[in-house]
Amino acid sequence: MSTVMTEAEREAFLADRHVGVLAVSRDGRAPLAVPIWYGYEPGGDVLLWMDRDSMKDRAIRKAGRVSLVAQFEQFPYAYVSVEGPVVANDEPPTREEALAIAGRYLPQADAQAFVEANLRSDGSSILVRMRPERWLSQDQSKS
């Protein structure tokens, strides 16, 4: 039996709450690989909220593509890796978008406080949208 997830399984897995690992290529250096909170709904774009001109933002702007890995770190192990082009990276997230991302990882009151403290209206907060194009997955519970 194959351990590769179906399209529906991998989209549901990515939509679940996981801290992702963002990977972005860099000229002449090892890829940037950092943990990140993200947002995703099946069939949609991967959403990444970050500060403009951060190391992540600069690498993403230069590369134009990113990869994201989400994994389950306890047996039975599972992961989804998704790669694709950046289709938007210049607009700030709305308060609702920022709350949706933070709310995946924090209780509602904490998510609201996090957004109040970190969402900047001066244009220094941006929402990066990656369109999923290539997928890899494995679910060892299927073996």
Mean pLDDT by 10 residues, the chain (143 residues): 93 97 93 96 97 95 97 95 95 96 97 95 93 97 85
* Encoded amino acid at 143, one letter: S
User: What global pTM score does this model have?
Assistant: 0.94
Q: For every residue of 3-50, which 3-state class applies, written as one string?
A: CCCCHHHHHHHHHCCCCEEEEEEECCEEEEEEEECCECCCCCCEEEEE
Residue 123: per-residue pLDDT: 84
Q: Rounded to an integer, what distance in angstroms lies between the CA atom of residue 122 and that of residue 4?
A: 44
**Residue keyed to tokens 């969402």:** 119
Yes or no: say if 39 and 97 are a contact pair by the CB < 8 Å rule: yes
What is the set of domains in the chain, with CATH numbers? 7-142 (2.30.110.10)
Residue 99: per-residue pLDDT: 97
Residue 14: per-residue pLDDT: 98
76: cis peptide before it, omega within 30°? Answer: yes
Residue 27: per-residue pLDDT: 86
